[in-house]
Chains A and B, each alone.
Chain A
């Protein structure tokens, strides 16, 4: 009898649903976007997740006051702020967009902005974000609320890129009320409350980050109901998962797999060069490399085009110096390109009196894409001009620049975190750099020019300082040499309408992500 009753009840229930007609809440038919990634950041709080994988997920959760026009000319545009203007050379007044809702439903006000940059979260000695201050906020003096929707930023000096800093990492605005309500910072960092297009559902260590649509997003309702960043460490599994239809996007597809995916009619490849250079570094205190001609010989004996063709299927760029074309007015288009000239290398070695002394070259085991193969190719190129280079493997947990053990040169990369050389050349090779701290490279003239780059407000003066810095760092007294721009490729199913920027930030907002 009981067995008979169950279907009858179910039928009545279904009939009631049908008779009741359409629900007052329309069914949410938006799809889940499934992204297979090689790794995720440990948390969803930008203050402790600055990394390539952190950039990828966090911009979906948090918004900044201003934003670069990543798809256009990298000019600043309003974002959480509606407008901004300089009240004096060191005072910037920012008008906030009204009606912006955080993930917890609270409206964003100037209090939240002040708190986001305040001593409790960012600038205080004991604040979780304090380690980031030296990198991003050296010029920041104070942030004050003028009224409910107006904030005043005061800088310690006239900072030529202060506005750009408001669009950069660590400038994300969080909800003050939610931060103070969280049981502790460890709980907060797994589920922070921001004002981005998606809110955090859960962060599962080494497994997945799941975001859900923030339907009150100021920029419109997101087109995906849920976004899953699933950790699939093996490349072959990411490729197979995409082919099988288990994922909509697979990230970090190595160049040798691109043709496999391109041959599938349902999949396309998007992406290309990103805001990161693969570089090699030099130790100018090394007994052999202290003569800049040896370093110059190493630079001109690398056939960069051969590396790009063989390792990257020709799909990335060789820059003219450690710079990017998205620097806008600061881009030195006429800066000389890298030469491949084995004869010049031999001449330089002869002039320097090089007698085949061993030069060690430190490399990780494929921390960078095709790192080991690239290193082996470079060693072969160096050997062909008479340089005696030996590869020394180091682990990411080891010290890349640690003195001793014949330290001479090695692999590295350089990111441009803003469209300005201050955030690549200066931050990575200036007096606060690890190269200087470990005693591998320093140059007084470079540092003097860097101070001009940091403080000067005249664009032409800054350009000339930048030019001189590049000339010093890349040729006169080489500290690094760029090999090529790194590239990131995504395999994507054709029903997903999305394309990446040159920055590693995956913009999944309503304007950028659509489904066909």
Chain B
């Protein structure tokens, strides 16, 4: 177990360092932050002054070393946009995004698992076909379009929910539904196939001979086997949800990190983008670590090996 943790931590550090380096290079070669900050027709001396003020006039390797050194000491720099500490402006938006993502994940895995199990139970029959068609539909509809459709229905036509803004529970429902339901389609397909795989196992044939209620049979014998692959899916989903959050947060004016990332990339706000990437990469690496550890806990075969 100790070795697993150490390997995962080492992988985490390498992942974060690679992500930081990649973003640092991409942001600087794809455009000039000083020009992005100033009006398109700003005079050259004003642009030069901004470059000098922010150290953008120094050679790229020097900028990189300075940046990594500062990062190691916990200094994420100042936002080019409003000159506030980048870490602070990012961190104050994290709770909103976590709330949105968390709710989205809960919706994705509860709705998706239930539908997947149901589809597997009715394999090849009408409910199975309906659920699988629905799963493909909700996953393939762009979240931008899905969001607008929900707004038109629930905010404009029915006036049941606010069209955007937040963060409050009422404001949360639609964006979380968009994130959750589009992922629920994938979860449903995943659960269906893993359940069918489990149902074909000899131990299930033996268990099915016992006089057990159907719900108990599924809970005690089918679910433990079919739920394990969901851990892998959970790790992947997290990345997809973060990417999707950028779009959904924009559509619903949700004050989270995803929308802030899009805005900051457009403004070449290097400090903020780098801060978000470091935090997201760290979170992803932790999620992978957690997945590995959960595997080790829940899968007896891995535990004994």
Contact = CB atoms under 8 A, between A and B. Distances in A.
Contacts of B76: none
Is chain A's interface secondary structure helix, strand, loop, or mixed overall? loop
Interface stretch (B109-117, B255-263, B292-300): B255-263
Contacts of A186: 78, 83-84
Contacts of B40: 364, 367, 396, 400, 412
A246 B151 CA distance: 11
Nearest to A43: B82
Interface residues of A, number: 45
Contact of A246 (B83, B162, B259): B162
A356 interface: no
Nearest to A204: B255
Nearest to A434: B41
B156 A437 contact: no
A6 interface: no
B250 A234 contact: yes
A264 B78 CA distance: 45
Contacts of B253: 36, 230-234, 237, 241
A78 interface: no
A240 interface: yes
A462 B172 CA distance: 59
A367 B35 CA distance: 14
A131 B45 CA distance: 9
Contacts of B264: 206
Contact of B155 (A241, A396, A412, A428): A241
A399 interface: yes
B63 interface: no
Contacts of A244: 151, 155-156, 159, 162-163
Interface string B27-48: 0001111011001111110100
Category for how many chain B residues contact A: 35 or more
Interface in B138-191: 144, 148, 151-152, 155-156, 159, 162-165
Contacts, number: 118
Contact of A233 (B81, B259, B268): B259
Residue among A42, A186, A230, A245 with most chain B CB within 10 A: A42
A230 B263 CA distance: 15
Given A231-B253, A243-B156, A244-B151, A205 B89 contact: yes
Nearest to B147: A237
B97 to A, nearest CB: 12
Nearest to B81: A42
A412 B159 CA distance: 41
B81 A396 contact: no
A384 interface: no
Given A395-B31, A397-B31, A437-B44, A189 B83 contact: yes
Interface string A249-276: 0000000000000000000000000000
Interface string A471-505: 00000000000000000000000000000000000
Interface of A: 36, 42-43, 50-51, 131, 134, 186, 189-190, 203-208, 230-234, 236-237, 240-241, 243-246, 364, 367, 395-401, 412, 428, 432-434, 437-438
